[in-house]
């Protein structure tokens, strides 16, 4: 368990293949976390996650050919720093989330 935080009671997710794995379901059950998936064909039920997942998929997962999991982690870490600390977000008045 993360120090001082604990696990969430619920985890909301879309029905994309990256979030419907057996491993995720096993982890959630093991830690007492309820998985709540949006209804198929209703992406507006979780619009922020849908937008993030689409952006991540287009700019990282579909943009590279990976040969090692460590490559995915390295590129994702760099991308997240840019996404959170440098990239302007229209919903935040064109400021980065930081």
Query: Based on the domain organization, do 8 and 39 belong to the same domain?
Result: yes
Determine contact, residues 37/69, Cβ cutoff 8 Å. no
Mean per-residue pLDDT for 78-98? 89
Give residue 43's pLDDT: 65
Domain hosting 44: range is 1-63
- 39 Cβ neighbours under 8 A, 6+ residues apart: 45
DSSP E strand stretches across the chain: 10-13, 34-37
The predicted structure's pLDDT at residue 16: 67
On whether both 55 and 78 belong to a single domain, the answer is: no
> Are 17 and 41 in a shared domain?
yes
Do both 79 and 91 map to the same domain? yes
Residues 15, 43 within the same domain: yes
Place of tokens 């720093």: 81
Mean pLDDT of the chain: 84
State whether 45 and 11 are in the same domain.
yes
Which tens digits make up the pLDDT trace of 52-72?
888 999 999 999 999 999 999
Of 1, 39, 26, 93, which is closest to residue 12 (Cα–Cα)? 39
18 close to 42: Cβ distance less than 8 angstroms: no
pLDDT at residue number 98: 86
């Amino acid at each position: 368990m993360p120090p001082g935080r604990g696990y969430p009671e619920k985890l909301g997710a879309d029905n994309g293949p990256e979030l419907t794995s057996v491993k995720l379901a096993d982890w959630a059950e093991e830690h007492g976390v309820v998985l709540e998936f949006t209804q198929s064909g209703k992406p507006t039920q979780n619009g922020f996650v849908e937008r993030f997942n689409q952006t991540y998929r287009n700019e990282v997962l579909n943009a590279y050919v990976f040969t090692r999991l460590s490559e995915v982690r390295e590129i994702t870490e760099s991308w997240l720093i840019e996404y959170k600390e440098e990239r302007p977000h229209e919903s935040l008045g064109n400021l980065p989330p930081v």
